[in-house]
């Protein structure tokens, strides 16, 4: 597929890969090739005489005009219809589970003070995007109900382009695998992934700290996904400190088939819910080396509120406990229950037990902890 050249992005992309540009700026302006400084050497087909076409394309970007005072009209006059292979970037957006979730109280601003140890798990959405000719944000999704400007992926592009000062013209494909309202942070992870893709697609040169700061404008959970595989979050969730776990293993996830609204759960939380539950166990968890030890330290102060808001989740938890599959914990403020295992075979046996109960749930086994994937860049 071919499309119109995004000239500034093309220049920055190429020079970043060649080492001429870092963080969106020329490392050494005196190192600029002569064809950038002298666009009149381009012939009518858009090639620089004696130079490969892909090098000549860099000569038509906005940056030479700004750096060397070359008129954009003079460049456009001899280069009316240049095209190039489209550039696409792709990554995955991992789910998370909360090993601890301490609710410390309700704040004056309506949010809650939290402390939570969170890990990434090997269940991911897939996000890809590419430049397109038409201005705007074209989002398609495997779940058609999620297409629209309220999607965090859509909003991530808006926040990013506003920050870097460019108009969005991008086509996005979102493949959903993380259930909605499941307490696994699917929407927030998608937003973090989209910020990474924008940064790569347009070579903005922002580091993870800057991207996480942009993400905090989208949602409290978004910054977390720049610090996986494991991190402690505090405040309303926007303050993130990466931590190392000594344990790695397998997680049985049981999705109860209902979407639980996060806002409803926090509104249903009562201080009494946290009174008799463990608090501040994240330090001990980070030192634990077995699933058995970890399980004894797990807690979620939102679990009672989840059970009140979504009786289905409470019913599944009770049924699994009576069937000997438990103990299961709720992750976040959602409808997914989980259990930790050291061995994959044991986790798979437990998943088969869940399936044999013939409930309307989905059981899966995933590795943990996992971090965010790198961005794959390709031309097509």
Of 56, 85, 114, the position where a domain reaches its end is: 85
Question: 21: which strand partners?
Answer: 26
Asked if 129 and 231 sit in the same domain, the reply is yes
Q: What is the pLDDT of residue 87?
A: 78
Q: 188 and 53 in one domain?
A: no
Q: Is 301 helix (H, G, I), strand (E, B) or coil?
A: coil
End residue of a domain, out of 60, 85, 110: 85
How many structural domains are present in the chain?
3
CA distance 369 to 104: 25
Are 97 and 205 contained in the same domain? yes
Residues catalogued as catalytic: 96, 221
Residues 111 and 219 in one domain: yes
Nearest to 61 by CA among 41, 94, 86, 35: 35
CA distance 7 to 45: 16
- CB-CB contact of 305 with 313 (8 Å): no
CATH number, residue 321: 3.30.70.890
The CATH number given to whatever domain includes residue 206 is: 3.30.230.10
pTM attached to this predicted model: 0.80
263/147 same-domain check: no
Position 16 scores a pLDDT of 60
Q: Are 224 and 271 within one domain?
A: no
Ordered per-residue pLDDT tens for the chain, 380 residues: 333 334 445 555 555 655 655 655 556 655 544 334 344 333 333 333 333 334 434 443 433 333 333 344 444 443 333 334 467 899 999 999 999 999 999 888 888 999 999 999 999 999 999 988 889 999 999 999 999 999 999 999 999 999 999 899 999 999 999 999 999 999 999 999 999 999 999 888 899 999 999 999 999 999 999 999 999 999 999 999 999 999 999 999 999 999 999 999 999 999 999 998 999 999 999 999 999 999 999 999 999 999 999 999 999 999 999 999 988 999 999 999 999 999 999 999 999 999 999 999 999 999 999 999 999 988 76
Q: What is the pLDDT of residue 109?
A: 85
Residues 108, 226, single domain; the answer is: yes
Question: In this structure, are 91 and 238 located in the same domain?
Answer: yes
Q: Which two tokens stand for residue 63?
A: 């940056």
Residues 129 and 25 in one domain: no
Q: Which residues share a beta bridge with 242? A: 231
Q: Which residue has tokens 């070359």?
A: 70
Residues 12 and 63 sit within 8 Å (Cβ to Cβ): yes
Write down the pLDDT at residue 31. 53
Inter-CA distances, 229 with 117, 183, 307, Å: 11, 17, 28
Which helix (H) or strand (E) covers residue 209, if one does? helix 208-215
Q: What integer pLDDT is reported at residue 205 of this predicted model?
A: 87
**pLDDT value for 377:** 85
| 109 & 221 share domain | yes
What is the extent of the structural domain holding 362? 249-368
7 and 61 housed in the same domain: yes
In a shared domain, residues 105 and 66: no
């Amino acid at each position: 597929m071919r499309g119109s050249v995004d000239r500034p992005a093309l220049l920055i992309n190429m020079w970043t890969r060649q080492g001429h540009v870092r963080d969106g700026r020329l490392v050494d302006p005196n190192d600029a090739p002569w064809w950038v400084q002298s666009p009149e050497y381009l012939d009518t087909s858009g090639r620089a005489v004696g130079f490969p076409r892909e090098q000549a394309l860099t000569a038509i970007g906005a940056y030479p005009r700004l750096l060397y005072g070359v008129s954009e009209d003079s460049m456009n006059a001899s280069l009316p219809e240049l095209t190039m292979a489209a550039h696409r970037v792709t990554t995955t957006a991992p789910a998370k589970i909360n090993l601890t979730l301490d609710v410390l109280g309700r704040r004056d601003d309506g949010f809650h003070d939290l402390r939570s140890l969170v890990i990434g798990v090997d269940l991911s959405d897939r996000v890809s995007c590419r430049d397109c000719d038409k201005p705007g944000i074209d989002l398609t999704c495997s779940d058609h109900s999620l297409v629209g400007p309220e999607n965090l992926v859509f909003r991530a592009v808006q926040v990013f382009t506003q920050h870097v000062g460019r108009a969005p013209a991008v086509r996005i494909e979102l493949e959903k695998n993380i259930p909605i309202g499941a307490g696994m942070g699917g929407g927030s992870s998608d937003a973090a992934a989209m910020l990474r893709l924008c940064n790569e697609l347009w070579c903005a040169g922002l580091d993870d700290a800057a991207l996480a700061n942009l993400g905090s404008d989208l949602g409290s959970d978004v910054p977390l996904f720049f610090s996986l595989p494991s991190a402690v979050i505090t405040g309303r969730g926007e303050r993130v400190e990466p931590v190392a776990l000594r344990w790695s293993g397998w997680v049985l996830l049981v999705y109860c088939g209902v979407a639980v609204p996060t806002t409803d759960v926090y509104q249903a939380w009562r201080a009494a819910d946290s009174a008799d539950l463990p608090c501040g166990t994240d330090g001990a968890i980070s030192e634990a080396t077995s699933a058995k030890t970890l399980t004894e330290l797990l807690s979620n102060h939102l679990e009672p509120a989840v059970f009140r808001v979504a009786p289905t989740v409470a019913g599944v938890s009770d049924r699994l406990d009576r069937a000997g599959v438990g103990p299961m914990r709720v992750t976040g403020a959602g409808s997914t229950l989980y259990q930790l295992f050291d061995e994959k075979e044991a986790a798979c046996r437990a998943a088969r037990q869940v399936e044999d109960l013939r409930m309307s749930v989905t059981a899966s086994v995933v590795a943990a902890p996992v971090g965010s994937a790198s961005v794959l860049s390709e031309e097509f």
